[in-house]
Amino acid sequence: MDHHEELPSAVAAEALLTLTEEHHARAARPLGTREAAGHLVKVYAIEAPGRTVTDGDAEAALRVADAHLGLGRLHGSLGLAVLVVHAGGDGDYVLVHTWIEGYMSDLAVFVGPAGQPDLLRPGRAGLAPCVWEAAVLAHERDAFSRNVLDGTGPLAARLTAWGADTVEGTVR
């Protein structure tokens, strides 16, 4: 099949083209490294145009992360996590990405209506990061490998380097 002339039946050409027309940059910024449920947690904000992640939003997301990470040992957690607080165009999202044993990671996605952090609930089964969240998590995969796995020196120094290795600016 020549994909230049004929697309497979499952390809939603119109929907894909609509996405390309509406795709835009979103602001991403680090909010520091905190502690939740005994984990070191690197926190990020992602903001859709016209939306802002407030200190209150970040604190609410940390409470969600604390509750989720409280079971970390049962998931094989290594004690390092990334928290993404996303003030999206259609609601709010909180992602808790945890490094676990065997070079793997655990991801929990929480969703809720815009500006109502007390209504954040686990996302549906199979929900994965959107393109903007995935950009931050891709950086974090590289930062973990670069600073922790491939780093040199004492672990505390590696973790300090990991905490300082952030992405800031626009993500697409």
pTM value surpassing 0.85? yes
The token duo for 23 is 């795709």
Q: What distance in Å separates the CA atoms of residue 94 and residue 64, rounded to the nearest whole number?
A: 8
Alpha carbon 104 to its chain centroid, in Å, reads: 15
Alpha carbon 58 to its chain centroid, in Å, reads: 13
Q: Angle at CA 9, nearest 5°, toward 128 and 17?
A: 60
pLDDT tens-digit map of 22-72? 999 999 999 999 999 999 999 999 999 999 999 999 999 999 999 999 999
Q: What is the dihedral of CA 64, 65, 68, 71, to 10 degrees?
A: -140
